[in-house]
A and B are shown apart, each in its own frame.
Chain A
Amino acid sequence: DIQMTQSPSNLSASVGDRVTITCRASQNIDRWLAWYQHQPGKAPKFLIYEASILERGVPSRFSGSKSGPEFTLTISRLQPDDVATYYCQQYITYPWTFGQGTKVDVK
């Protein structure tokens, strides 16, 4: 199975800060990576697909990128509503696998 490793596991930032979460796969997944936001008590929300394409309706402060084997989710200006756990997920091969999650909160 492909292992997905996210870092950091937790981060705390101020409203308006730029926040970056990274994700690495244990083998090549090309650009078959998605990002999800999961807030407590809610269903996960689909943010980004194919590493960098923003899903319709997702605020433009969210962006995704790929550099070599590393994938990045960036929140350009953190908002209180962005408090959540964020997951990367590969979908190049089954079983699909998620990263362990990055919990983001606001200072």
Chain B
Amino acid sequence: QVDLLQSGTEVKKPGASVKVSCKTSGYPFTNYFLHWVREAPGQGLEWMGFINPSNGRTTYAQKFQGRLTLTTDTSTSTGYMELTGLRFDDTAVFYCARMGRGLDNWGQGTVVTVSS
């Protein structure tokens, strides 16, 4: 079955960077775009961007341009989300999700807390 397994909780200081992994299994990794979505406390879902694992091409929300980098490792079917210049309001749960007919399979979420 399709599974997306994300890395664990992170606590970072303002200005630091975080890199979250999303290890996929159960489907051909390069056949499906991988999206990233976050949910800040008390806020709704926010789309961040996506990567095409077959060629590495990315599209980012303007809000994250310059701070967000999405990459993949096709040898391990793993996606990565790196966010730099962390601010307090980047505290959120970050999700990876596979794009089928919609975002049809999601990782379990990674909590990232930005705290001094």
Cβ distance B93 to chain A, nearest Cβ, rounded Å: 9
| Size bracket of the B interface | 20 to 34
What's the Cα separation between A94 and B63 when bound, in Å? 12
Cβ distance B5 to chain A, nearest Cβ, rounded Å: 11
Cβ distance A5 to chain B, nearest Cβ, rounded Å: 12
| Segment at the interface with A among B11-19, B39-47, B84-92 | B39-47
Is A98's CB under 8 angstroms from B101's CB? no
Q: List 22 A-B contacts (CB under 8 A).
A: A34-B102, A34-B103, A38-B39, A38-B45, A43-B107, A43-B108, A43-B109, A44-B37, A44-B97, A44-B103, A45-B106, A46-B102, A46-B104, A48-B102, A49-B102, A53-B101, A55-B101, A89-B45, A89-B47, A95-B62, A99-B44, A100-B44
The A contact surface, by secondary structure, is strand
Interface 1/0s, chain A 69-99, versus B by CB < 8 A? Answer: 0000000000000000101010100111111
Q: A55-B101, A94-B59, A95-B61 are in contact. Are A43 and B106 (CB under 8 A)?
A: yes
A residues sitting closer than 8 Å to B (CB atoms) are 34, 36, 38, 43-46, 48-50, 53, 55, 85, 87, 89, 91, 94-101
What's the Cα separation between A68 and B101 when bound, in Å? 23
What's the Cα separation between A89 and B63 when bound, in Å? 18
A-B pairs with the 10 shortest C-beta distances?
A: A43-B106, A34-B102, A95-B61, A96-B47, A49-B102, A98-B45, A101-B44, A49-B101, A46-B104, A46-B102
What's the Cα separation between A38 and B61 when bound, in Å? 22
What's the Cα separation between A7 and B62 when bound, in Å? 27
Interface centre among B44, B59, B62, B107 (most CB of A within 10 A): B44
Q: A44-B95, A97-B47, A98-B46 are in contact. Are A91 and B106 (CB under 8 A)?
A: no
CB-defined contacts of B45 to chain A, threshold 8 Å: 36, 38, 44, 87, 89, 98, 101
Instruction: List CB contacts (< 8 Å) of B36-77 with chain A.
Output: 37, 39, 44-47, 59, 61-63
